[in-house]
Amino acid sequence: MTSQDFEDGLAAMAAAAREAIAYRRGVAAAETTPVATYRDMLAAFDAPLPETSGAPGEIIQDLITRATPGIRAATGPRFFGWVIGNSHPTGVAADWLASAWGQNVGNLVSAPAASAIETVAANWLLEILDLPRQASVGYVTGATVANFVCLAAARSEVLARIGWDVEADGLIGAPPVRVLIGADAHATVFSGLKYLGLGARRVITVETDDLGRMLPSAFEQRDHRPRRRDHGRRGDFGLAYG
């Protein structure tokens, strides 16, 4: 990278920041926020694979021009779609810094500051939720990986209680695990079950109320179904998603 390339890249960063600030101001004041369809946006972006690099400023401006019609106003004050939350401007600014710093928080040596921030944030979460202070904390990308991690922890614990170390010995030959799940469980739960080798079709569904909570009577009924005699042991755990 030449010194001019570097300066052009910094100018592109500044242009992106200006555009981002202008967008957040505009979406906050907009009465309506129409958005193009996926098909429209695919047509706008579809192009042959570039064979050469482009000027940083032109790349950013091209992205803005093509993408703007299809930006869903999820950060606007009148957006109530799905369960998508807004982002605070201060958090966005911190995210910019995190990207600019480019830290790889793989260990304490490669990223001392970022590692310290994660540790303190984890301690705060344990305090807020009043969880055991020695508990480990992990940061995930969203609902799918969050459910995956929770199911993995439950799978490991329930098998450990009956003498099987799944981390060391794997699932081949392990006692079968029954998974009890609420009838309103989110699709991401089933993704986690697939990733962990527990299977999406083997779950035992428990009826729920109008708020998505497992009905205690239904849970008790499912929990007392006759158990198979495979290995003479069987693991059990339930997951309710609400």
Average pLDDT score over residue span 208-234: 72
Residue 1's pLDDT band, with cuts at 50, 70 and 90, is confident
Please give the model's pTM, rounded to 2 decimal places: 0.75
CA–CA–CA angle 242, 155, 116 (5° rounding) = 80
Please report the beta strands in the chain, taking only residues with DSSP state E, as ranges in sequence order: 177-182, 204-206, 235-239
The CATH architecture of the domain made up of 143-239 is 3-Layer(aba) Sandwich (3.40)
The pLDDT of residue 239 is 47
The tokens for 95 are: 């995210």
Distance of CA 156 to CAs 81, 105, 110, 139, 171, Å? 36, 26, 30, 19, 10
Is residue 141 pLDDT above 70, yes or no? yes
The pLDDT of residue 100 is 95
Average pLDDT score over residue span 83-111: 91
Is residue 137 pLDDT above 70, yes or no? yes
The pLDDT of residue 41 is 96
The pLDDT of residue 93 is 95
The pLDDT of residue 224 is 59
Average pLDDT score over residue span 86-110: 92
The tokens for 36 are: 């193009």
The tokens for 159 are: 């098998």
